[in-house]
């Protein structure tokens, strides 16, 4: 589901909502960033959506800053690409494909989480449903092209029910992203990447369909996520029918290539979408 929200300073912000009951997430690394990640990450988490994911793919969007600027680390399918930093804003993906946002080592991970992937970037924009005071200072949220702090920006947040929100705009302040997330009911939210070349969101009308660009003015077709992209990104997959479940790599064997598979009718196992 997508809609356009006008921010407090006039930014047009595209909001995409991915319900917890019907979607799952998978982190991919880029060909050039994080540096060296493709040589150590499992093949199915590489710079393009794997063949195993294509039939379930419904969306994909950009990750965060380059490693040198993110002030945080990355873990992909159990492989630590760069060390994780306590206190950094983190998008955490569990073994069942669910995504959570929080402050690493402070609010996440919880004792019940089986973490497979982590993407860290700066600090939180929204915490406990409230806009962080630092959101009002654009200087804390990355170097921009030109002197205007209202540049292309993206953000990621999760509400109390586990629904995930991607926000993208070609001209927005960090405060506008934070305020919009809070208004949407996001309990924990973080900034992703900024500047025009990097903000990319693609959504398909049905699983496995063609991804269509959703942020007006974005410079790239979302086909970059299919053909291979320079930077890390997140793929959004449709969960299978309720009598089936989507199986992602799970500890302790996540470091080996293990593409997501659909398992149906396993005795005693309930699909995640049934909760």
State the pLDDT confidence band at 171, using cuts at 50, 70 and 90: very high
pLDDT given at position 95: 84
Find the mean pLDDT for residues 125-141. Answer: 97
Rounded Cα distance between 16 and 21, Å, is 15
Q: Give yes or no for residue 274 having a pLDDT over 50.
A: no
pLDDT given at position 273: 38
pLDDT given at position 265: 66
Judge whether 16 and 211 are in contact, CB under 8 Å: no
State the pLDDT confidence band at 96, using cuts at 50, 70 and 90: confident
pLDDT given at position 53: 87
What's the count of helices (H) and strands (E) in the chain, helices before strands? 5, 19
Q: Give yes or no for residue 190 having a pLDDT over 80.
A: yes
DSSP 108: B
Return mean pLDDT, the chain: 89
Minimum mean pLDDT range among 48-62, 147-161, 174-188, 206-220 = 48-62
Judge whether 58 and 72 are in contact, CB under 8 Å: no
pLDDT given at position 212: 97
Q: Give yes or no for residue 256 having a pLDDT over 50.
A: no
pLDDT given at position 233: 98
Sign of the four-CA dihedral 249, 192, 140, 188: negative
Judge whether 30 and 231 are in contact, CB under 8 Å: yes
pLDDT given at position 52: 79
Of 128, 211, 222, 124, nearest in space to 174 by CA: 124
pLDDT given at position 90: 98
**Long-range contacts from 250-255, C-beta under 8 angstroms, 24+ separation:** 250/95, 250/114, 250/116, 251/78, 251/95, 251/114, 251/115, 251/116, 252/78, 253/78, 254/42, 254/77, 254/78, 254/79, 254/95, 254/116, 255/42, 255/77, 255/78, 255/79
Judge whether 153 and 145 are in contact, CB under 8 Å: no
pLDDT given at position 57: 94
pLDDT given at position 242: 66
State the pLDDT confidence band at 239, using cuts at 50, 70 and 90: confident
Other beta carbons within 10 angstroms of residue 39's beta carbon come to 8
Q: Is 273 exposed, middle or buried (0-12, 13-18, 19+ CB in 10 A)?
A: buried
């Amino acid at each position: 589901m997508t809609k356009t929200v006008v921010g407090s300073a006039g930014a047009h912000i595209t909001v995409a909502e991915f319900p917890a009951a019907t979607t799952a997430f998978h982190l991919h690394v880029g060909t050039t960033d994080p540096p060296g990640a493709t040589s150590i990450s499992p093949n199915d988490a590489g710079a393009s959506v794997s063949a195993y994911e294509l039939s379930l793919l419904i969306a994909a969007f950009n990750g965060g800053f380059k490693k040198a600027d993110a002030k945080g680390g990355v873990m992909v399918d159990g492989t630590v690409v760069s060390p994780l930093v306590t206190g950094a804003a983190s998008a955490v993906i569990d073994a069942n494909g669910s995504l959570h946002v929080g402050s690493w080592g402070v609010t996440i991970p919880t004792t019940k989480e089986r973490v497979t992937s982590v993407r860290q970037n700066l600090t939180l924009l929204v915490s406990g449903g409230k806009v962080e005071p630092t959101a009002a200072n654009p200087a804390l949220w990355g170097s921009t092209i030109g002197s205007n702090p209202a540049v292309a920006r993206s953000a990621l947040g999760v509400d109390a029910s586990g629904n995930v929100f991607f926000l993208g705009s070609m001209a927005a302040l960090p405060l506008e992203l934070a305020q919009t997330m809070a208004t949407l009911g996001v309990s924990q939210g973080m900034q992703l990447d900024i500047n025009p070349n990097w903000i990319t969101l693609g959504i398909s009308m049905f699983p496995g369909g063609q991804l269509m660009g959703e942020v007006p003015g974005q410079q790239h077709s979302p086909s970059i996520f299919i053909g291979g992209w320079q930077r890390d990104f997140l793929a959004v997959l449709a969960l299978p029918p309720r009598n089936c479940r989507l199986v992602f790599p799970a500890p302790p064997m996540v470091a080996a290539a293990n593409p997501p598979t659909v398992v149906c009718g396993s005795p005693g196992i309930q699909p995640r979408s049934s909760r």
